[in-house]
Amino acid sequence: MAEACGCRPAIWTKMPRERALSTWQKHATSFSAGRLGSIRRALCRLGDWIEVNDLQAECAEFSCEGGVLAWWVQDEQAKSKTEGLTVPASLRGGLVGAYEHFGYKKLGVHESAFKNVAAAPGRTPKPAKSATTGMLLHFVRVAREHAADIVRRYAAGFVLCMLSCMRVRDAQRAALAFGVSSACAIKGLCYSSKHPRRRQPKEMPVYVPPTEALLGRWDDSLRRSAELQPDYTFPRVRVPRSQTIEHPGVAVLDGPAKSAYVIKVLRWILVIFDFMTAEEAKLMTGHSLRHWLGTVGRLLGYSEEDRSELGRWIAATTEGVARRGSLPNRYSNADAEEP
């Protein structure tokens, strides 16, 4: 703990116990649970590997040079059930956290051999399949007609994501407010999203204009939930074993649902009323809802600048970013400009 908190052991022993414990607690809890988990997993896997390879004497107290770490991450990648392309970079990220924040200064995380072996693969990410206008109308129907209130609320959340160009992840860290938008004096749905890993979260204002004349009262369940002032759209639920979210015994819990579960419900809703097959629904991800508005804007002939405003994308300012393609184009279907 002394090294992790930036103290020499001689000074740490003279520090009052209460002060030492509070210093350690404030330091350790300043990181997210995910970050701490990745650091712990990397150290545990490295420790197990050192023991298996009989390197306890050579690598005592995690004294591992870059070549040893390069050997380790390649062994861990080979154990992966898939290609394991991201395993080396993920493990290196955990060790870098241990080196920089928790006093593991004997790890050769910055040596070139380890950095080169653990570098993330250079490949262009595959865009998610875009949601469609038919999906929007299907979600509206479910949000208005389904018997279960929690199903209506989830469906309304998906409508909100499509109309406001948000990912599922964005909807889980935002606050709802109904009233007059500061951007344009129209009564509608205002949304404020905050990044969870920032100590002082940066707000992302989002606005959905009124749609009742076109889509009806799809947002009734969201309006009721906004009265409780949640800072998330999709709540956690407890579903009876072997049942679905529409079961009468489903209980709504405090706190946001995990993105993986929200996507599971998204695909389930797409299958009900025989709207899609299960195979078609599996193609949709948490990013699919964000792709819809960009595709529609491209079909309607909006300029790239206007589509950047729709999706709140910052325009490319460097040649390298521009060469890889603008975000408004990458978030819209490739065939959007075809006849």
Query: How is the chain split into domains, by residue range?
Result: 31-117, 133-292
> What pLDDT is attached to residue 189?
58
> What pLDDT is attached to residue 183?
36
Alpha helices in 112-258 (DSSP H): 112-117, 133-145, 149-164, 168-171, 212-215, 220-226
Q: Phi and psi (nearest 5°) for 206?
A: -130, 145
Residues 6+ positions from 35 with CB-CB distance below 8 Å = 97
Query: Token pair for residue 45?
Result: 């896997």
Q: Are 93 and 75 in contact (CB under 8 A)?
A: no
Give the residue from 139, 206, 225, 200 showing the smallest Cα distance to 167: 206
Torsion of CA 14, 18, 19, 21, to 10 degrees: 100
146 SS3 class: coil
> What pLDDT is attached to residue 187?
43
> What pLDDT is attached to residue 339?
44
Whole-structure pTM value: 0.61
> What pLDDT is attached to residue 327?
76
Q: What one-character-per-residue DSSP string does 112-140 give?
A: HHHHHHTPPP--PPPPPPPP-HHHHHHHH
Rounded CA gap, 312 and 325, in Å? 16
Q: Which position has the token pair 């997210």?
A: 32
Rounded CA gap, 298 and 302, in Å? 6
Query: Token pair for residue 86?
Result: 């991201």
Q: Are 156 and 255 in contact (CB under 8 A)?
A: no
82 CB-contact burial (10 Å; exposed 0-12 / middle 13-18 / buried 19+):
exposed
Q: Cα-atom radius of gyration of the chain, to the nearest Å?
A: 25
Architecture of the 133-292 domain: Orthogonal Bundle (1.10)
Q: How far apart are the first and last CA of the chain?
A: 65
**What pLDDT tens digit does each residue of the chain (339 aa) get?**
777 778 888 888 888 988 888 888 888 888 888 888 899 999 999 999 999 999 999 999 899 999 999 999 999 988 887 777 788 888 999 999 999 888 888 999 999 999 998 887 766 667 788 899 999 999 999 999 999 999 999 999 999 999 988 899 888 876 665 543 333 333 455 555 555 554 455 566 677 878 889 999 998 888 887 666 577 889 999 999 999 999 999 999 988 899 999 999 999 999 999 999 999 999 999 999 999 998 898 888 888 888 888 888 876 555 444 445 577 777 776 554 444
Distances (CA, A) of 80 to 38, 123, 251, 282: 17, 19, 37, 24
> What pLDDT is attached to residue 122?
67
Beta partners for residue 64, in sequence order: 107
Query: Token pair for residue 320?
Result: 């390298």
Rounded CA gap, 144 and 139, in Å? 9
Residues 6+ positions from 59 with CB-CB distance below 8 Å = 50, 68
> What pLDDT is attached to residue 186?
37
258 SS3 class: coil
Question: What would you measure as the largest C-alpha separation in the chain, in angstroms?
Answer: 76
Positive or negative torsion for Cα 309, 311, 313, 315: negative
> What pLDDT is attached to residue 174?
64
Give the residue from 181, 134, 183, 188 showing the smallest Cα distance to 162: 134
Q: What is the pLDDT of residues 232-291, one digit of tens each?
A: 889 999 999 999 999 999 999 988 899 999 999 999 999 999 999 999 999 999 999 999
Q: Phi and psi (nearest 5°) for 36?
A: -65, -40
Distances (CA, A) of 144 to 199, 243, 266, 301: 38, 22, 16, 31
| Residue 338 per-residue DSSP state | -
